[in-house]
């Protein structure tokens, strides 16, 4: 059977997904450690095996028994990855049908749904979350070419749970610059009257007010801006999703309910 999905551009590179990997290991390491035979699927890894290998290496540090399978629908991308297989890491031909031996604990799908329409993106969210192991999660997002700006959604079998923004402090002028990395389900909703538009507008406002803190570095400005934003938005404040340890990395997570599009 032909894999389900469309071939992506395949753009990838060393450390492009480091921000999402770091978040996954820190926030959901306990999920992986507590799972019986934890399986992670890297869906649509692109023209190079690199980011899948990096994911495997980083997750093995927090869960020594995790297995990672990289899936691609383009056979010409699978063959060159095969020599990099090792115990716990493999590459296979596949798409949204997820031809894997058991339900995954985690599915990572980055820069995959961006090429689809909004309705298709919502549908594939349902398709992928329906394949998860009990308690499993889907991490779906988009990042810039070098990975300095990224936005992702964490979903469970019940639907989207959180939205996370992550960026290098010198990779944006205002937080709303990350709007071009919003998932497909939100990117066209960044208009007046929609919650995500109001969220980014208020984040920009907090960033502007926090400008004096920039004298001590952009990290201090970000920390103050997040603190100000949290006065009016339900920013995740406590570990593992929130708190100073996450914010210092240029991260911010918020419940999906706060940005869920009007009309959905």
Residue ranges of domains in the chain, CATH in brackets: 18-167 (3.40.50.150), 175-234 (no CATH)
DSSP-derived secondary structure letter, 86: B
Peptide bond into 53 cis (omega under 30): no
Which DSSP string corresponds to 28-71?
HHHHHHHSSS-EEEEE---S-SHHHHHHHHHHHHH-TT-EEEEE
Is the CB of residue 38 less than 8 Å from the CB of residue 105?
A: yes
Which DSSP string corresponds to 140-190?
EEEE-TTSSEEEEEEEETTEEEEEEEEE-TTS-SSGGGGGGGS-HHHHTT-
pLDDT at 257: 98
Alpha-carbon distance of 160 to 126, in angstroms, equals 10
Kindly give the confidence (pLDDT) of every residue in the chain, 264 residues in length, as a single tens digit, with 9 standing for 90 and above.
678 888 777 678 889 999 999 999 999 999 999 999 999 999 999 989 999 999 999 999 999 999 999 999 999 999 999 999 999 999 999 999 999 999 999 999 999 999 899 999 999 999 999 999 999 999 999 999 999 999 999 999 999 999 999 999 999 999 999 999 999 999 999 999 999 999 999 999 999 999 999 999 999 999 999 999 999 999 999 999 999 999 999 999 999 999 999 987
For the chain, helix, strand, coil in percent to 5 are 40, 20, 40
Look at the block and give the residue holding tokens 């502007």.
Answer: 208
Is the CB of residue 237 less than 8 Å from the CB of residue 243?
A: yes
Is the CB of residue 27 less than 8 Å from the CB of residue 57?
A: no
pLDDT at 1: 66
Alpha-carbon distance of 230 to 215, in angstroms, equals 22
CA distances from 62 to 30, 94, 180, 249 (A): 8, 27, 31, 19
72: helix, strand or coil: strand
**The whole model's pTM is what?**
0.96
pLDDT at 2: 75
Alpha-carbon distance of 99 to 37, in angstroms, equals 17
Is the Cα dihedral 44, 49, 50, 54 positive or negative? positive
Distinct helix (H) and strand (E) counts, the chain:
8, 8
pLDDT at 113: 95
pLDDT at 82: 97
């Amino acid at each position: 059977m032909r894999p389900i999905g469309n071939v992506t551009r395949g753009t990838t590179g060393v450390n492009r997904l480091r921000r999402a990997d770091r978040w996954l290991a820190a926030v959901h390491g306990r999920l992986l450690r507590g799972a019986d035979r934890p399986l992670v699927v890297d869906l649509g890894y692109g023209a190079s095996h690199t980011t899948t290998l990096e994911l495997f290496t980083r997750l093995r540090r927090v869960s020594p028994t995790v297995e990672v399978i990289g899936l691609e629908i383009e056979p010409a991308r699978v063959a060159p990855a095969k020599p990099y297989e090792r115990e716990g890491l493999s590459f296979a031909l596949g798409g949204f049908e997820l031809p894997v031996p058991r339900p995954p604990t985690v599915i990572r799908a980055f820069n995959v749904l961006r090429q689809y329409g909004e309705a298709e993106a919502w549908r594939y969210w349902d398709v992928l979350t329906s394949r998860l192991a009990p308690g499993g999660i889907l991490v779906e997002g988009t990042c810039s070419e070098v990975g300095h700006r990224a936005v992702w959604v964490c979903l469970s079998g019940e639907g989207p749970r959180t939205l996370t923004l992550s960026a290098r402090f010198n990779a944006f002028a205002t937080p709303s610059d990350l709007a071009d990395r919003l998932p497909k389900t939100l990117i066209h909703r960044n208009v007046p009257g929609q919650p995500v538009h109001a969220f980014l507008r208020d984040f920009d406002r907090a960033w502007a007010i926090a400008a004096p803190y920039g004298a001590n570095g952009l990290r201090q400005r970000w920390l103050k801006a997040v603190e100000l934003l949290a006065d009016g938005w339900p920013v995740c404040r406590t570990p593992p999703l929130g708190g100073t340890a996450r914010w210092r990395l240029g991260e911010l997570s918020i419940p999906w309910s706060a940005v869920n599009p009007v009309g959905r």
